[in-house]
């Protein structure tokens, strides 16, 4: 499942999200050294990572599971719902829509 965020300023939106997380303004989230976004423990922390990718007019967040781990439906749903909630609560004036695919898409990795 990917989250697709439509925006006229995808680079600026992603930069703001990452800066706010890194500066502690978005509690419960962290940015890892690869630039992926994950929830902090507990209880859902580090069970998945959201890898952002900027394309023309959008930011796509693909989900990745830990190596050699099959992602549960609960984790899958938790990460996507919390990301959309973060966007709506703090960045609503920076995008026009956000949508989620029901099943994994190209770029997602939910394990074996």
Tell me the per-residue pLDDT of 53-111, one tens digit each, with 9 for 90 and over.
999 999 999 999 998 899 998 999 999 999 999 999 999 999 999 999 887 888 888 88
* pLDDT of residue 6 exceeding 90: yes
Query: 41: pLDDT confidence band, cut at 50, 70 and 90?
Result: confident
Q: Are 77 and 48 in contact (CB under 8 A)?
A: no
CA distance 105 to 10: 20
In this predicted structure, what is the pLDDT of residue 105?
82
Task: Classify the phi-psi angles of 47: left when phi > 0, otherwise alpha if psi is within -120 to 50, otherwise beta.
Answer: alpha
Query: What length does the chain have?
Result: 112
Q: What predicted TM-score, i.e. pTM, was given to this entire model?
A: 0.92
CA distance 83 to 111: 20
Between 6-10, 50-54, 101-105, the lowest mean confidence (pLDDT) is in: 101-105
Is the sign of the CA dihedral 29, 51, 16, 13 positive or negative? negative
**In 14-78, beta strands by DSSP E:** 29-31, 37-39, 49-55, 58-64
In this predicted structure, what is the pLDDT of residue 85?
97
Average pLDDT over residues 22-40: 96
Ordered by start, the domain boundaries in the chain are 2-100
In this predicted structure, what is the pLDDT of residue 112?
67
């Amino acid at each position: 499942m990917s989250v697709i965020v439509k925006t006229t300023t995808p680079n600026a939106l992603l930069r703001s999200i990452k800066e706010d997380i890194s500066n502690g303004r978005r509690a419960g989230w962290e940015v890892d050294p690869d630039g992926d976004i994950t929830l902090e423990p507990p209880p859902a922390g580090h069970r998945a990572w959201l890898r952002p990718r900027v394309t023309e007019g959008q930011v796509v967040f693909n989900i990745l599971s830990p190596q050699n781990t099959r992602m549960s439906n609960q984790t899958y749903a938790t990460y996507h719902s919390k990301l959309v909630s973060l966007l709506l609560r703090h960045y609503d004036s920076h995008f026009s829509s956000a949508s989620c695919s029901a099943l994994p898409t190209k770029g997602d990795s939910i394990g074996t």
